[in-house]
C-alpha cells in the first residue's frame, strides 16, 4: 500500500504489521495526551510534585534524554569536524534520536512550568545570570539545528526525492552541513554545561553545590563530559535495538566500534574527573557547609549506595568494558556496557535533581517523600512512545542507514 514511499532496494514489513507495531506506542501517546490535558487544564496539582520536590520526574527525564541525545551533536562533531568518515553510517540515526530527545524535552518543559502561556518570558525577559535561561536558549536553537540536520534525510524519501527542487535543496543543505554541525556543537556545549551549572550554582544546597572556574561550577564541565560519554552509547543502543527488531545488520561494525571506543575513552576520563570532583566536594564544599558526607543520607531511601553505584557499577565498569577491545567486540558485552553507561548518566541526573531536593538543608527540617502520579508517568512514557513512533516511521520511509542495502542485499 505504502510501497512507493519505501526506500528502494530494501525490505520492509507489510503496512498491517507496521500499524500493529505502532499500536502500543500510540497507546502511550494517548496516555501522555490525557495526562498533558489534565496538567494543563487542571494544573500541576495533578502531579505529586510539591514545594519540597519542585523538580521531579519530568526534570529527571528531561535532563536524562537531553544527555542521551548528545550523541547527535557529538557524532556530528566527529564526522564533520574531526573527519571520522566511517561514522557517517550512523549519523542519521544519531540526528533522529537527538531530534526526538530535544523536541520531547521542550514539550515536557512546556507542561512542567506553571504558566505555559508565559513560556516566552524566558526569552523576552531573560535573566542572563540564570543557567536555565542559557539552557532554554540553547536547546531551542539547537532543536532548530537538529531540524535542519534532519531535513536532508527526510528529502531523501523516495517520493520527495522525485521532486527536483527538494532534491537539490537537500543536496545543497547537505553540502554545507558542517557549518550547521559546528553551530550545533557550540550550542550543545553550552546547554549541556548549563544543565550541570543549574545545580552547581545552587550554593545554598550543599548536596549540589560545587566550586568552579569563573562563573561555571565544575558540574558545568562534568555534565558536558558525561553527556558526550553516554550519548554515543545511547545511539549504539538504539541502532542495536533497531537491528534486533528488524533482524538485519544496519550499521557496519567499524562505525559502532569507533563510537564505542571513543565513548570508552571519554567515560574513563570522565570517571577520573568525577571521582576528583566528588572527593573535592566531600572534603571541601561539604565540611564548609558544616556537614559530613554521611549526614546527607541520614533519612530517606537514598543512600551512599547510589553514589557508589553511579561511579563504580555504572561508571568505572562500563569504561573498562568499552576500553577492552575483546569486550567491545562481543555484541552482548557491548550492549551491557552501553546500558550501564546510559543508566549511570540517568543516576547522575537523578542524584542531582531529586536527591538534592530531598535532603533538607535546615537541621530541624524533615525528610519528605515523593512518588510520581500516573499523570507524571503518562507524560514521561509518552516520550518513549513518541520516540519509538518517530524512529520507526523514519526507519520505514527514509534511508536512515546508508549501508542497509549493501549489508542486506535483497535476494529474490
Partner 1 sequence: MTPLSFEWQWNVEYIIFFGLLYIALGVVSVGLVVVVIKTALQVFGFMRERHF
Partner 2 sequence: MKKGSDQGKHKYGMVIDLDKCTGCGTCMIACASENNVSVRPDQSDKERAITWMCLYKITNGKEFPHTEVSYFPRPCMHCDNNPPCVSVCVATATKLDFNTGIVSQIYTRCIGCRYCQAACPYGSRYFNWWHAYFPKGKGLERYLTPEVSPRMRGVVEKCTFCHQRLMRAKNQAYAEGRRELEEGEYVTACAEACPAQAITFGDLNNHEHQVSKLSKHPYAFRLLERLGTQPKVYYMSSRDWVRRQAENLLPGEYKPVINKTWMEEEWSTRPGRDEF
Binding site for partner 1 (CB under 8 A): 123-129, 134, 137, 141, 144-145, 148, 164-165, 168-169, 171-176, 179-180, 183, 186-187
Binding partner of 258, given partner 1, partner 2, none, CB within 5-8 angstroms per partner class:
none
Q: Which is nearer to partner 2, 42 or 85 (CB)?
A: 42
Instruction: For residue 188, give the nearest of 239, 126, 137, 148 by alpha carbon.
Output: 137
Q: Which is nearer to partner 1, 159 or 175 (CB)?
A: 175
Give the dihedral of Cα atoms 124, 111, 210, 341; nearest 10 deg.
-130
Q: Which is nearer to partner 2, 207 or 401 (CB)?
A: 207
Q: Which is nearer to partner 2, 20 or 121 (CB)?
A: 121
Q: Which is nearer to partner 2, 133 or 390 (CB)?
A: 133
Give Cα 334 distance to the centre of its chain: 19
The distance of closest approach from Cβ of residue 253 to partner 1 in the complex, given in angstroms and rounded to an integer, is 24
The distance of closest approach from Cβ of residue 160 to partner 1 in the complex, given in angstroms and rounded to an integer, is 14
The distance of closest approach from Cβ of residue 185 to partner 1 in the complex, given in angstroms and rounded to an integer, is 10
Instruction: For residue 216, give the nearest of 280, 96, 129, 274 by alpha carbon.
Output: 129
The distance of closest approach from Cβ of residue 140 to partner 2 in the complex, given in angstroms and rounded to an integer, is 13
Torsions phi, psi of 209, nearest 5?
Answer: -60, 140
C-alpha 135/C-alpha 341 separation (Å) is: 24
Torsions phi, psi of 213, nearest 5?
Answer: -115, 120
Site residues (vs partner 2, CB under 8 A): 43-45, 49-55, 112-115, 118-119, 121-122, 125-127, 129-133, 136, 198, 201-206, 287-292, 295, 356-357, 361-365, 368
The distance of closest approach from Cβ of residue 379 to partner 2 in the complex, given in angstroms and rounded to an integer, is 16
b/e per residue, 90-101, with b = 16+ CB within 10 A?
A: bbbbbbbbbbbb
Binding partner of 332, given partner 1, partner 2, none, CB within 5-8 angstroms per partner class:
none
Binding partner of 5, given partner 1, partner 2, none, CB within 5-8 angstroms per partner class:
none
Binding partner of 111, given partner 1, partner 2, none, CB within 5-8 angstroms per partner class:
none
Helix axes 88-112, 374-397, angle to 10 degrees: 150
Instruction: For residue 376, give the nearest of 61, 118, 51 by alpha carbon.
Output: 61
SS percent in the chain: helix, strand, coil, step 5: 75, 0, 25
Show the cell assigned to 400.
536512515
Binding partner of 144, given partner 1, partner 2, none, CB within 5-8 angstroms per partner class:
partner 1
Q: Which is nearer to partner 2, 201 or 317 (CB)?
A: 201
Binding partner of 23, given partner 1, partner 2, none, CB within 5-8 angstroms per partner class:
none
The distance of closest approach from Cβ of residue 136 to partner 1 in the complex, given in angstroms and rounded to an integer, is 11
C-alpha 349/C-alpha 217 separation (Å) is: 16
C-alpha 220/C-alpha 191 separation (Å) is: 9
The distance of closest approach from Cβ of residue 179 to partner 1 in the complex, given in angstroms and rounded to an integer, is 5
213 in helix, strand or coil? strand
Binding partner of 145, given partner 1, partner 2, none, CB within 5-8 angstroms per partner class:
partner 1
Amino acid at each position: 500500500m505504502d510501497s512507493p514511499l519505501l526506500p528502494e532496494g530494501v525490505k520492509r514489513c507489510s503496512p498491517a504489521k507496521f500499524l500493529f507495531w505502532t499500536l502500543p506506542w500510540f497507546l502511550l501517546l494517548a496516555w501522555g495526551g490525557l495526562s498533558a490535558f489534565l496538567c494543563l487544564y487542571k494544573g500541576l496539582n495533578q502531579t505529586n510534585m510539591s514545594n519540597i520536590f519542585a523538580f521531579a520526574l519530568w526534570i529527571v527525564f528531561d535532563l536524562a534524554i537531553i544527555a542521551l541525545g548528545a550523541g547527535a551533536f557529538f557524532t556530528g562533531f566527529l564526522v564533520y569536524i574531526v573527519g571520522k568518515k566511517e561514522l557517517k553510517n550512523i549519523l542519521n540515526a544519531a540526528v533522529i534520536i537527538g531530534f526526538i530527545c530535544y523536541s520531547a524535552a521542550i514539550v515536557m518543559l512546556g507542561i512542567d512550568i506553571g504558566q505555559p502561556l508565559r513560556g516566552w518570558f524566558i526569552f523576552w525577559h531573560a535573566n542572563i545570570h540564570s543557567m536555565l535561561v542559557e539552557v532554554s536558549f540553547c536547546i531551542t536553537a539547537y532543536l532548530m539545528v537538529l531540524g535542519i540536520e534532519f531535513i536532508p534525510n527526510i528529502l531523501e524519501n523516495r517520493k520527495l526525492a522525485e521532486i527536483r527542487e527538494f532534491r537539490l535543496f537537500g543536496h545543497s543543505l547537505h553540502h554545507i552541513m558542517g557549518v550547521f554541525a559546528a553551530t550545533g556543537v557550540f550550542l550543545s556545549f553550552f546547554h549541556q554545561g548549563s544543565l550541570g551549572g543549574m545545580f552547581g550554582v545552587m550554593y545554598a544546597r550543599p548536596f549540589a553545590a560545587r566550586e568552579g572556574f569563573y562563573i561555571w561550577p565544575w558540574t558545568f564541565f562534568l555534565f558536558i563530559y558525561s553527556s558526550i560519554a553516554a550519548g554515543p552509547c545511547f545511539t549504539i543502543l538504539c541502532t542495536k535495538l533497531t537491528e534486533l527488531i528488524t533482524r538485519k545488520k544496519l550499521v557496519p561494525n567499524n562505525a559502532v566500534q569507533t563510537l564505542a571506543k571513543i565513548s570508552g575513552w571519554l567515560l574513563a576520563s570522565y570517571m577520573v574527573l568525577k571521582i576528583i570532583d566528588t572527593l573535592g566536594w566531600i572534603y571541601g564544599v561539604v565540611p564548609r557547609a558544616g556537614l559530613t558526607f554521611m549526614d546527607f543520607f541520614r533519612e530517606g531511601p537514598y543512600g551512599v549506595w547510589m553514589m557508589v553505584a553511579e561511579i563504580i557499577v555504572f561508571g568505572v565498569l562500563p569504561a573498562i568494558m568499552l576500553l577492552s577491545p575483546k569486550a567491545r567486540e562481543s555484541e552482548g558485552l557491548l550492549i551491557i556496557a552501553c546500558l550501564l553507561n546510559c543508566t549511570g548518566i540517568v543516576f547522575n541526573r537523578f542524584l542531582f535533581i531529586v536527591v538534592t531536593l530531598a535532603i533538607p538543608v535546615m537541621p530541624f527540617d524533615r525528610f519528605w517523600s515523593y512518588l510520581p502520579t500516573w499523570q507524571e508517568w503518562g507524560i514521561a512514557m509518552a516520550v518513549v512512545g513518541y520516540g519509538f513512533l518517530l524512529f520507526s516511521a523514519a526507519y520505514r520511509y527514509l534511508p536512515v542507514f546508508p549501508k542497509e542495502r549493501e549489508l542486506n542485499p535483497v535476494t529474490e
